[in-house]
Amino acid sequence: MSRAYLDHASTVPLRPVAREAMVAALTDLTGDPGRIHEEGLASRVALEQAREQVAALLGARSREVVFTSGATEAIAAAVHGAADRSRTRGLVDDEGRTHQVVTAVEHSAVRFDAERSGAVTVVPVDGHGRVEADAVLDAIRPETALVHVQWGNHEVGTVQPVAEVVSACRERGVLVHVDAAQAAGRVPIAFDELGADLLSISGHKLGGPAGTGALLVRRGLRLAPLLLGGDQERARRAGLEPVAALVGLGAAAQELTGTLLAEAERSAEQAQRIRTAVADLDGVTPFGDPHHRLPHLVCVGIDGVEPQGVLLGLDRAGIAAHSGSACATESLEPSPVLAAMGVDAHRSLRMSVGWSTTDADIDRLLAALPVTIDHLRALGASLADGSG
């Protein structure tokens, strides 16, 4: 029997159209797209077509798309490019540091890179994981190089007031970066209409291949590149482009341009089935904003059981899910996102759906989850009273 993969928020299975496009590219494209011979020009055409496909999905101009190895690199390029820009303009604090603003629920790639670049102000969130736009704006200083606001949270699915933050930052002349890795391919994005300066995405989170991503850079904005060497990506990111992989990303983006709304509606229906069912389970608490949320993600807290046990029990039942906490061999780290929300950061379960999710997958989860929880609680009770 096939398994139920309900961890689309971590990584999405490769879309068939992307796989087919990659196989064809691996077979037919052999040249360096930076060369002027026939093989190079064929690769260049394919690469620019992929760029146009990604731009179309995200409502951007193709020249605004800088291909990267993923969202992590795109975020690093935004962080350090903005910090370098601020330093060259003399916009630093009394200790010579640049300054960036992050929300308390940003992805670790944003938080860690911002902290490495200089001073950071962390803006708190409410119990649903949502930030107040005014609180973000109050954190801006004269030397602020960049404001970060994620489109939607990777653990609880809460959508932030992105448009409000971007508009206010533009009025103040402060650069703003939107982490859209979890939102791209899930909700409509119109980069040029939004007015953000920078926006990062990850290819594997929308059904493209791992090792691909993009940083959208607003037309007219110039940032020093993170990677130096050649003049690839119009001198904005050195290194030979992985043409076949980016062709796959372009194919996934093109498919989503036509199917996004239907996929989002189906994901929302499947996620709501999960929410409705778990609401009837004792000791299970939903996390995230009930109104402002991504369509594909459900996160709950489960009293009285450790997340490893739930994940292993579901895995034995043929279901892949995830905990908001980082599981390692010898330790269990609490989720910084849930801690910032003021809820139990140790016992969460995240279930996320996507293009490959079937109704049978949801049926399997809804049958297995109550049994798994009851079994673990009974086991814990028997161990506590010495009868186990």
Q: Which residues have a catalytic role annotated? A: 327
Q: What is the dihedral of CA 377, 378, 381, 386, to 10 degrees?
A: -140
d(CA 255, CA 58): 13
d(CA 203, CA 74): 11
Quote the radius of gyration of the chain (alpha carbons, Å). 22
Kind of pairing between the strands at 98-103 and 144-150: parallel
> Exposure of 52 by Cβ count < 10 A (0-12 exposed, 13-18 middle, 19+ buried)?
middle
